[in-house]
Amino acid sequence: MTNTNVTLNDAAVGAPPVRRRGKFAGMLQRSETLRGFFLLSPTLVVMTIGIVIPFAILITMSLWTAIGFGFDTTLTTANYETALEQPVYGALMHRSLVISGWATVATVLLSYPMAYYVAFHVHKNKMMWIVLMTLPFWTSYLLRVFAWKVVLGYEGVINSGLLWAGLIDAPLEFLLYSQQAVVITLAHSWVAFAILPIYVSLEKIDRSLLEAATDLGDGPVARFFRITLPLSMPGVIAASFLIFIPTTGDYITPALLGGPDGMMIGNLIQLQFGPVNNWPMGASLAIGLMLYISAIGLVFLALTKVFKERMA
Amino acid sequence: MDVLDQIGAVREGKMSRRAFTRSLAAAGVGMATVPFSGRKAMAAPEDQATYFTWGGYDIPELFGEYQAKNGELPNFSIFGGSEEALTKMRGGFVVDVSHPCNQAVPRWTATGLFQSADMSRLSHAGDIIPELTQLEGNADGDNLWMVPFDWGQTSITYRTDLVEIEGEESWDILWDEKYAGRLGSLGAGADAWWVGAIKAGVDFDNIDTPEAFEKIAAVMREQRPHIRVYTDDTTTLEQALASGEMVAAMTWNSSATLLRAEGHPVRFAQPKEGALTWVCGLMIHKDAPNLDRAYDVIDSMLSVDTGKFMINDYGYGHSNAKSFDEFDEETLVGLGLSKNPADILEAGHFQKPQTQEFESKMNALFEQIKAGF
Amino acid sequence: MSTESYIRRPNRPLQVYAIIFLIALYIPILFLPLFSFNDSIYVSFPLTGFTLQWYEELFQREPVWAALMNSVKVGAATAVLATTLGIFAAKAITKYRLPGQNAIVAFIMLPLVVPGIIFGVALLVLMSSLGVTLSLYTVAVGHVIICLPFAIATLIPRFEGLDPSLEEASADLGENAWHTFWRVTLPVVWPGILASLLLTFTVSFDEFIMAFFLTGTEPTLPMYIWGQLRFPQQFPSVLALSSMIIAVSFVIVFLGQWINRDAHISTVRK
């Protein structure tokens, strides 16, 4: 998509008359690349300070070892070896990805029809719907997690409802402090991050394509699968990434709702920087997590590419 | 918020898109340049001391004297656990006063981030119960690294209507298969591991030996399947006890006091093996920007009014001997307290400071056990 | 016009789904106000009685208000800064073919791959080695970094949807780049900008982990609440506070709707 835009631009470059104002402005006018980097520069400066330096610290630290309050700054891969040797790290890493995966799938599947509804069937007050859907996220994340505790809790809404209906004799204890509880809460918490990108990509779809498909005799279902869904895939993919990746590192939701069996790798990383006081180990685990997520992300991207090519 | 109003105005055509964008940009510039000072109409907050403490200690009731003298409350910064606090201060966070417990004092002083308190600058110094000042690693000549403030126990709060006690109260309640899935525990090794040591019969003097680690780990692994949740958040435990979701949990004094005040049938056990006991207090940062007011914070917290509140509303012991005069012996016993803290602290198992290596090793192992490994 | 009706026809099942979705979205949150009126410091059923006590207490608790204001300031500053940076970046990424473009995009998106806690600690170490005192500014810096990817991810689809011929036409008419952006690009990408502002404000307002490491003496709202979770006596007043945030938001949404009641949509596209 970007490529077509660029080609069009390249063709047009020669067309506008170049007016000379200062040397720099002239250069900016002439060079696409320079103009691009000029626009990018503020962001790049901020991100360099925010990413490169912290990352350098992080990677260096992962090769140190902790002694008491200090660090032994001899470089060693000991932390990575420990992480691979002890089963707890791999198991929690895996569990985190499974929990985040389920939460992502649930959020995207549930949010898509909602975004679709607002994009195609709401004609008045669209912004109102967008605001309505994002409004709950003006409240504190912690309080929302806490609210789920009230819903799923021992004397919570679900349990008291079922008891009242006579469906159960004693409260269901598995609702809270379980992996399901974490998945449900994450899915609810991240709805806004699914709806907004999907909505944006649905809004972008040229309505005349749909009309054309209808004219060619496609029913609503065929129209959806041939046009709407493929064209909204960028939004779906963006949503999946926006949810999957941060949730793997979450530690508040599992800490408050997961119970002992719902603990995730984020909890373990946080503990290394807190009570366990082994920052180098925490840094190694974090890098391990990033590599793991990147690998999965790349596989996911490759799959979507194959999918796209087959569509085309 | 007015962004939304402006959207409305744009849509109605009352405001051109350009005017809207301009006002938005102005708001952005305004936000970016307005100094981030939270409170108006008060003595500049930077003039007040900053007290870095547990949630719940940031209330006016503890700072009557400070407020009377300085006109405002100190600034508060809240941590969830004292290790969290130390991590943050080691990262360069500077405060005036912080709030560790006896077991952490030598490790905190070893970081070189603190200065000892000159007791002659505290008007209530003479009223401090002497036993509380004589803690391992706390003396620095006549000065104290940590000025004692509150003390208490880690024990079991249980529902008297849901737990059957045969004979004496015991830590066994928290290991009882009968109550599997209905027991709770504090999540920090600083409490739970030491309780494990009591249960395993490990003497605190030998807690840092391989055999002790093995024994305690075995006990903790045995307990783990019975525990519904490990948490540092006492509210969670209190609510679970209130609803009957849990029948018993490892807690501090305040949980039982609060639940009883709410009318719930709970007891703060005095286990036959002994409870875990501790003293917490106040330490001054070496670079405290408002040193005089740091002393004001500490002095205010040592006052009798503060002490009465601590005993009555939180159920903790206070370090000022005079604070106890208002209470009769029966009330104090009911709270698990005494005018003679030594009675309580020595009847239980008093925490002993350990090395940083011990803390790291213990926490790493305990976290693995909690995760099921 | 007749073709329009295929698409514009109301879809009943979808409408029902949308309503159920909204209910499910709101129900857990509405328990907060419910319990803020409950006459017990414990959040559990059955309700014990009606009280306004927690609200009275809240009004006396200055730190709550200070924390709320801190969060609003940090959130607004973060949203404006991240979105502004994001507009330039998204424009550059979608319009120009830059050497190493994919690497640059991956680089900017990196905070999404890194658990916030790592950035929190690393930035804390950075700040302290630079001798920067922790304050709301440091929180905002941390938030801008984690919000930028959100801003850019929201803006890029918008800029991709921008018809380049419009900008060319503007350039052909002799408008300079700035005017072209102002008159042509901005109106088209405007919904994306708005979404980005909302999204980044939300992220910042909610953000806990970075704030945890980067807050100085003035807590943001999530930091304040985290401290209060441990002490149930104060918890109901925190519930009261969040109920008020919800209520105020509702009122604003309602007002917006009321102002717009006669407004007819003139679609941005086409």
Q: Which tens digit of pLDDT belongs to each residue from A249-268?
A: 888 889 888 988 999 988 88
- Residue B354's Cβ-side half-sphere holds a number of Cα atoms within 13 Å equal to 20
- What is the rounded average pLDDT of the residues A174-201? 90
Query: Position C184: which residue type?
Result: V
In a domain, B195, yes or no: yes
Write out the residue range of the structural domain in which residue B94 sits.
3-151+279-339
Q: 3-state class of C47 per DSSP?
A: coil
Distance CA C82, CA C148 (A): 5
> Model pTM?
0.78
Q: How confident is the model at residue B224 (pLDDT cuts 50, 70, 90)?
A: very high
Angstrom distance (rounded) from CA B299 to CA B161: 42
The answer to whether residues B103 and B46 belong to one domain is: yes
Residue B344 lies in a domain: no
User: Residue range A80-94: average pLDDT?
Assistant: 91
What are A115-157's pLDDT values in tens digits? 999 998 888 778 778 778 877 766 667 778 878 887 888 877 7
Q: What angle do CA B49, B54, B60 make, to 5 degrees?
A: 55
Q: Which 8-state DSSP code applies to residue B111?
A: T
Residues of C in contact with A206 (CB under 8 A): 269
Q: Is the pLDDT of residue A19 over 80?
A: no
pLDDT band at B94 (very low <50, low <70, confident <90, very high): confident
Q: Is the pLDDT of residue A235 over 80?
A: yes
**B227 & B126 share domain:** no
Instruction: Give the confidence band of A13 by pLDDT, cuts at 50, 70, 90.
Output: very low
Judgement on whether residues B90 and B185 belong to the same structural domain of the protein: no
Q: Are residues B221 and B202 in the same domain?
A: yes
Structure confidence by residue, pLDDT tens digits, A236-252: 988 898 788 888 888 88
Q: Is residue B199 part of a domain?
A: yes
| Residue B176 domain flag | yes
B353 and B322, same structural domain? no
On chain B, the residues whose CB falls within 8 A of the CB of C135 are 36
Q: Which residue in the block uniquely carries the two structure tokens 């809404």?
A: A157
Closest CA to A1 of C20, C157, B277: C157
B 235-294 residues with CB below 8 A of A?
236, 239-240, 243-245
Share of chain B above pLDDT 90, in %: 58
Q: What is the tens place of the pLDDT at every residue in B30-54?
A: 433 333 433 333 334 568 899 998 8
d(CA C45, CA C42): 9
Residue C167 pLDDT exceeds 90? no
Chain length of chain B: 373
Radius of gyration (C-alpha) of chain B in whole angstroms: 24
> Quick check: C63 pLDDT over 90?
no
Q: What's the pLDDT at C149?
A: 87
Cα-only R_g, chain A: 25
**A9 vs C45, C164, C270: nearest CB:** C164
Q: Given pLDDT bands bounded at 50, 70 and 90, which one contains residue B210? A: very high
| Report for A189-193, B117-121, B357-361: range of highest mean pLDDT | B117-121
For residue A155, which residues of chain B lie inside 8 Å, CB to CB?
A: 243-245
| pLDDT given at position B154 | 93
Mean pLDDT of chain A: 81
Query: What's the whole-number mean pLDDT along residues B73-77?
Result: 86
One domain for residues B176 and B210: yes
Whether C70 and B31 lie within 8 Å, measured CB to CB: no
Lowest model confidence (mean pLDDT) among A193-207, B75-89, C227-241: C227-241
- Non-local (6+) Cβ contacts of B340 within 8 A are none
* Res. A1 pLDDT band, cuts 50 70 90: very low
Q: Is residue B23 part of a domain?
A: yes
- Predicted local confidence at residue B230, as pLDDT: 92
Which residues numbered 122-181 in C keep a CB inside 8 Å of some CB on B?
A: 124-125, 127-129, 133-137
My answer on whether B184 and B96 are in the same domain is no
What is the DSSP pairing of strand B97-98 with strand B276-285?
antiparallel
CA distance C69 to chain A (A): 14
Looking at the structure, do residues B193 and B218 belong to the same domain, yes or no?
Answer: yes
- B148: enclosing H helix or E strand: strand B147-159
Same domain for B147 and B162? Answer: no
Q: For residue B370, which residues of chain A lie inside 8 Å, CB to CB? A: 260, 263
Neighbours of B198 (CB within 10 A): 21
Residue B359 lies in a domain: yes
- Nearest-Cα distance to chain C for A208, in Å, is 9
| Closest alpha carbon to B184 in B165, B163, B212, B198 | B163
Most confident of B27-41, B173-187, C250-264: B173-187
Give B194-250 as a 3 state SS string. HHHHHHHCCCHHHCCCHHHHHHHHHHHHHHHHHEEEEECCHHHHHHHHHHCCCCEEE
Which pLDDT value is given to residue B44? 44
Q: C234: closest CA among A126, B46, B314? A: B314
CA dihedral over B33, B38, B43, B49, signed as positive or negative: negative
Whole-number pLDDT of residue B19: 42
CATH number for B323:
3.40.190.10
| Any A CB within 8 A of C144 CB | yes
**CB-closest option in C113, C121, C245 to A245:** C113
Cβ contact, residue pair A110, C158, below 8 Å: no
Residues 242-261 of C with CB under 8 A from B: 248, 252-253, 255-256, 259-260
Is there a contact between A261 and B367 if contact means CB atoms under 8 Å apart?
A: no
Q: What is the pLDDT of residues B287-324, one digit of tens each?
A: 999 999 999 999 999 999 999 999 998 899 999 999 99
Closest-CA residue of C relative to B14 is C259
For chain C, percent of residues with pLDDT exceeding 70: 80
What is the pLDDT, as a whole number, of residue C220? 87
Look at residue B325 and tell me if it is in a domain.
Answer: yes
Most confident of B77-91, B203-217, B225-239: B203-217
The distance from CA C93 to its chain's CA centroid, rounded to whole angstroms, is 23
Do both B290 and B211 map to the same domain? no
User: How many structural domains does chain B have?
Assistant: 2
B371 and A92 in contact by Cβ < 8 A? yes
Residue B186 sits in the same domain as residue B39: no
Is residue B27 domain-shared with residue B146, that is, in the same domain? yes
CA distances from C102 to A287, C98, C107, C152 (A): 21, 9, 8, 14
- In this structure, how many other beta carbons lie within 10 angstroms of the beta carbon of residue B188? 22
The distance of B357 to chain A (nearest Cα, Å) reads 5
Q: Which of residues 41-100 of C touch B (CB under 8 A)?
A: 41-44, 62-63, 66-67, 69-70, 73-74, 76-77, 80-81, 84
Select the more confidently predicted residue: A256 or B212: B212
DSSP class of residue B321 equals: G
Q: Does B342 touch chain A (CB under 8 A)?
A: no
- The pLDDT of residue C115: 66
Asked if residue A293 has pLDDT above 70, the reply is yes
Which spans in chain B are helix H? Answer: 2-12, 17-33, 64-70, 82-90, 105-110, 130-133, 189-200, 210-223, 234-243, 253-261, 291-301, 304-309, 329-334, 341-347, 356-370
Residues of chain A neighbouring C8 (CB-CB closer than 8 A):
123
* Inter-chain touch C134–B93, beta carbons under 8 Å: yes
> What pLDDT, on a 0 to 100 scale, did the predictor assign at position B56?
74
Q: Is residue B18 part of a domain?
A: yes
Residue C192 at interface with chain A, using a CB cutoff of 8 Å: yes
Q: Which two tokens stand for residue B234?
A: 């006492």
Non-local (6+) Cβ contacts of C60 within 8 A are: none
Q: What's the pLDDT tens digit per position in B104-114?
A: 999 999 999 99
Say if residue B21's pLDDT is above 50. no
Report whether the peptide linkage leading into residue C46 is cis, meaning its omega lies within 30 degrees of zero.
Answer: yes
CB distance A284 to A62 below 8 Å: yes
